[in-house]
Structures are given as C-alpha cells and as structure tokens.
Amino acid sequence: MPRARAPLAGMILGIAISLPCLAETSLAAPRKPEDIRRYGTTNWSIDRLGSSDFVPFDSSTPYSRDGNALYSTVPNGYFQGGVHIPTGALLTYWYLDYCANVTNSDVWAYLYSCDHDDTTSCDNIATLDGTVNAVCTAVYQDLQPTPYTVNNNTKDLFVVIKTTGGFLDSSFTGVSIYYQLQMSPAPLTATFADVPTNYIYFRAIEALAAAKITSGCGGGNFCPNQNVTRGEMAKFLAVALGLDWGP
C-alpha cells in the first residue's frame, strides 16, 4: 500500500496562485493500482487519477459530483490527489479531462513533488491550463525536455486541481500521467568480482543485483559468460515481473 500523504501547504513554492490554508488532518485520497502497467524501458505506463481519487484541500469546501465529474459549488475550489508511480520511473507527459462551460471559467492542474517530512518544500513539476471556454475536452502536456524521475524514497507526488467556476461551470473527470520505467544508474563500485565497472553489461547486471533478481553464481561472482538454464531464466523473469500464481 502507498504511504499516507499529508496535505500540501497553503503556499507552495513555484505556484502561480495562492492556495488556501489546509486542514491539519490528512486529506490524501485513497489510491488504486495503476490502470495500465507495461514493463520495459521503451514502453509507456499510465497512472490514472479519476475524480474519485481527489478530495478538497479544505474539508469545509462545498463540492459535488455529476456522474464522473467533480466540481466545487463555489468559485475557486481546490482539490488534491496523491500519485503512486514506481521509484525510478521517468514521467513523460500527462493530460487533464475537464469542462469549462462558460466564459471566464477554467480548470488548472498542477503536478507537485514534495519532501516526505516537509510539505512546504515542493517543486512544481508541470502545469496544465484548461482555459478553453464552452467545451469539455482534454489538455495535454509533454514533460520533455524537462522530464522528472520519481524518487519515492524522499519525495511524494501530488496533483492539485483548481476549478474557477461554480457548479458545473468548471469541472474535471480525471488526470492521466504517462511514465516509462528506467534502468537504475550504474554504481561506482562493482558488486561482482568478475563484472568490473568497465564491463559492457556492468550497468544491466548491477541493476539486476540491486533489484534482488539475481545474487550471482556464488563466491562473489556473476559468471557473465555462463549459460543460463530454462529454470534459471524462469526465476529471473518471475522475480523481475513480480509474477504470482494467485491468492
């Protein structure tokens, strides 16, 4: 289960608007597993936050739902949702599904990375501006060329949404964040005596060892040129992919 998230601070570094003061108790939304998880460093995975994954910043803020849409019944409603993406993943792009049905109504989405123990120390990774009037649509943003690498060891990810209208004037149904898994960086020292730092597959072998997928062939060695049996390959894949035969 992902760790509980504390609410964001009333004034977040780098934000273009002033956020309201938050209740002292945690308002973190419950998170469901990723909708789509594809393995491999060249594939995209998706973390989908539906409107049910968001709660208002302030528990006293009136809000309502219309089917899958969430909206504040007063202007300038703020909502937050916690994001759960694997450590080491590279965020690539994201989009917001929203409605802005009257002139001067809009919906904004902010992606924040905050320190575990200090939610006043936050970085605004990206902002989505849904300012198209009289439409229900999706707005996209590519996070390149300033990608963000997830580090759950020290940071929490949040999405903050602001709806400027009231009632159904501005609402949203969800946010989708696309990311790619990455191979971990090579360490400075070698784990195995027969895989030095200048070995062509050093980084890949170290990544397998760090992920506990392999402990080598014994005696502090990896035996990089030794053949792998079908049984050994099965264990590599099962551990790497987290395969499970069921409850």
Looking at residue 127, its amino acid is T
**CA separation for the pair 189, 197 (Å, rounded):** 7
Confidence of residue 180 (pLDDT cuts 50, 70, 90): confident
Least confident of 16-25, 51-60, 154-163, 236-245: 16-25
pLDDT tens readout for residues 8-49: 544 343 444 444 433 333 434 444 444 455 555 567 788 889
**C-alpha dist (Å) from residue 67 to 43, 152, 202:** 32, 33, 52
What local confidence, expressed as pLDDT, does residue 242 receive? 78
Mean pLDDT, rounded, for 68-91: 88
pLDDT tens readout for residues 120-152: 788 888 898 887 766 788 888 887 667 788 988
> What fold is seen in the domain 45-180?
Jelly Rolls (2.60.120)
Which residues of the chain are in CATH 2.60.120.260 domains?
45-180
What local confidence, expressed as pLDDT, does residue 191 receive? 96
* Percent of the chain with pLDDT strictly greater than 70: 78
Least confident of 20-29, 79-88, 119-128, 207-216: 20-29
**CA separation for the pair 51, 80 (Å, rounded):** 10
Average pLDDT over the chain reads 80
Q: Is 121 helix (H, G, I), strand (E, B) or coil?
A: strand
* Percent of the chain with pLDDT strictly greater than 90: 29
What local confidence, expressed as pLDDT, does residue 16 receive? 42
Contact yes or no for 72/103 (Cβ under 8 A): no
pTM of the model: 0.73
Contacts of 94 (CB under 8 A, 6+ apart): 109, 111, 126, 128, 140, 141, 143, 175, 176, 177, 178
